[in-house]
Amino acid sequence: MLGLDASFATINQATFTRMKGLGYGIFIEDCWTGGYANNPSLRAVAEPNLRNAQAAGLIIAIYSNANPWYDVQTSVRETKANAGGMWDAVKVVAVDLEIAGTTEQQAFDLGLAFEAEGKKVCVYTARWVHDRDGNPPWTRLARWPLWVCQADKKPDIGTTRPVASWSATQIIGKQFDTDTGLFGKAVDLNMFEESFFEEEDMNETQLTAILAVFNVLATPRSAGQPLDSYFDPLPDETWAAAWRWLGAPTPPPQPSIGSGRRWLGLIAGDFRR
């Protein structure tokens, strides 16, 4: 799917709608440049851009620059503050690795911090960054998929060359044009694997495992009416598979009363947030 990324451009909903009409379905907003010099300008546009893009029907995501100056806590705090009220709506955060002097460890720690915030992570970088830094392997960063700048004006992920330790199958995005812009707005043009940005649905085993965790951790042992009594039984093998997924070889007795599916979905929804 075609996508856009931007930093300081101000883009209204009508313009995003026009962009979507050309096939651009993903918008990624810069939410931390790695420093404070331009942060007020970024904060002024980031949340409105995300809100306008979502209102126009685009999938939204953000990126945050790893840097050698500020600790992870500062970078996460400022990223969240710039995303503002759209932070919870954002499911994907790209760790941008391009500032000179930034180490692999600093980028890696930032990625872990965003994972701890419940976000799906990828890494953005470019071959020129990799060359500048002496062609390091960046093996730890290859834990996450790659969004790479290859400005050859070809909107085709299949023509993209991986860098460092990433394989071609790990590439989820290609920034193919950084000069053209669109409708007078300073945006970069990309091609993305849409599936990476879509919210994943949990399968029955995962939902059952959530129920299992909920019962074990959230139900007081002294409660007269355990919470699991509100759930219908599932097939024994499904119940057992859920507990094996949690690492427990022997499942406890499963619930037997109530209207299970609706409540299971509600609890799953709570955990997914």
| Model confidence pLDDT, tens digit, residues 164-175 | 999 999 999 999
This prediction has a pTM of 0.75
CATH number of the domain residue 116 falls in:
3.20.20.80
Instruction: Please compute, for residue 163, the number of CA atoms within 13 A of its CA located in the half-sphere on the CB side.
Output: 24
Which range of residues forms the domain containing residue 254? Answer: 204-272
Same-domain status, 118 and 252: no
Same-domain status, 183 and 260: no
Domain stops at, among 197, 213, 245: 197
d(CA 72, CA 70): 7
Residue 134 DSSP class: T
| Model confidence pLDDT, tens digit, residues 112-155 | 999 999 999 999 999 999 999 999 999 999 999 999 999 999 99
Same-domain status, 231 and 130: no
| Model confidence pLDDT, tens digit, residues 220-254 | 444 444 444 444 556 777 777 777 777 666 777 66
Domains identified in the chain, total number: 2
Domain stops at, among 197, 231, 264: 197
Domain stops at, among 149, 178, 197: 197
Same-domain status, 173 and 209: no
- Placement of tokens 């546009």 in the chain: 45
